[in-house]
């Protein structure tokens, strides 16, 4: 069975979809994304996550059947917008079918077009899926231990400036 997946930039109207996504995430997925046993997602945090300026802060969502099943985001500091911290999450039922890779590829491409030259991500040392993803997608990345996590640092090549992908552009087809 093939199911259509689309990706698009996040929008404030996604607040309800984020609230619905939260209970579908396992504790392990939440811990790997936030590096802490986050139990509840305050409304203010969700509002912050879905409200981005599409420049210094960006988030792309993967949507299946009207539900958000994955999110990749970057944050660039005002003081140095050539750098960005990246984070990604795919809900458990949809992991392993290529959505994480697709979201990170689109996000880093968008970041490169906006002038980002270095991206960093904080990952746990036993997080094989994300380390595999980085190895394949961003070869040449360096991995530096920092207390009990790893900081992955990747250089992005400049890309020609062009329009961002159209909202709801077809991504791929997959099934969980
Ligand atoms: C990390 C994460 C985003 C990957 O997304 P995904 O959609 O499951 O991954 P993909 O299907 O795109 O696969 C990406 C790579 O991980 C590998 N992978 C996927 N699931 C795996 C698993 N259970 N064990 C080992 N490797 C796995 C794939 O083989 C692929 O590697 P390749 O490119 O070398 O073939 C997802 O597992 C997740 O949300 N994890 C919890 C949050 C997290 O760890 N975030 C990262 C820190 S911010």
Structural domains of the chain, with CATH? 3-174 (3.40.630.30)
pTM, two decimals, is 0.90
Q: How far apart are CA 56 and CA 26, in angstroms?
A: 29
CA of 26 to the centre of ligand 1 (A): 14
pLDDT at 172 (0 to 100): 47
> Ligand 1 centre and the CA of 128: distance in Å?
7
How far, in Å, is the centroid of ligand 1 from the Cα of 154?
Answer: 17
Residues written for the chain: 176
Q: Taking the alpha carbons of 135, 138, 139, 142 in that order, is the dihedral positive or negative? A: negative
Is the confidence at residue 110, as pLDDT, over 90? yes
> Could you count the other beta carbons within 10 Å of the beta carbon of residue 138?
19
User: Whose alpha carbon is nearest atom 34 of ligand 1?
Assistant: 132
Tens of pLDDT, residues 76-107: 999 999 999 999 999 999 999 999 999 999 99
Do residues 50 and 14 touch, judged by C-beta distance below 8 A?
Answer: yes
State pLDDT tens for residues 122-167: 999 999 999 999 999 999 999 999 999 999 999 999 876 655 555 5
The per-residue pLDDT for 65 is 95
């Amino acid at each position: 069975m093939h199911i259509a997946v689309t990706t698009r930039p996040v929008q404030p109207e996604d607040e309800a979809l984020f609230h619905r996504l939260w209970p579908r995430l396992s504790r392990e997925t939440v811990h790997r994304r936030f590096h802490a046993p986050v139990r509840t997602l305050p409304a203010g945090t969700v509002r912050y996550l879905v409200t981005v300026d599409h420049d210094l802060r960006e988030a792309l969502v993967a949507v299946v059947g009207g539900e958000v099943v994955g999110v990749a985001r970057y944050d660039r500091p005002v003081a140095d917008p050539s750098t960005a911290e990246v984070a990604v999450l795919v809900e458990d039922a949809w992991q392993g079918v290529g959505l994480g890779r697709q979201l990170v590829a689109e996000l880093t491409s968008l970041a490169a077009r906006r002038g980002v030259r270095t991206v960093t991500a904080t990952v746990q040392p036993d997080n094989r899926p994300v380390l595999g993803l980085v190895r394949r997608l961003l070869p040449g990345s360096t991995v530096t231990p920092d207390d009990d996590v790893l900081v992955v640092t990747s250089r992005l090549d400049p890309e020609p400036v062009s329009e961002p992908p159209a909202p709801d552009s077809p991504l791929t087809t997959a099934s969980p």
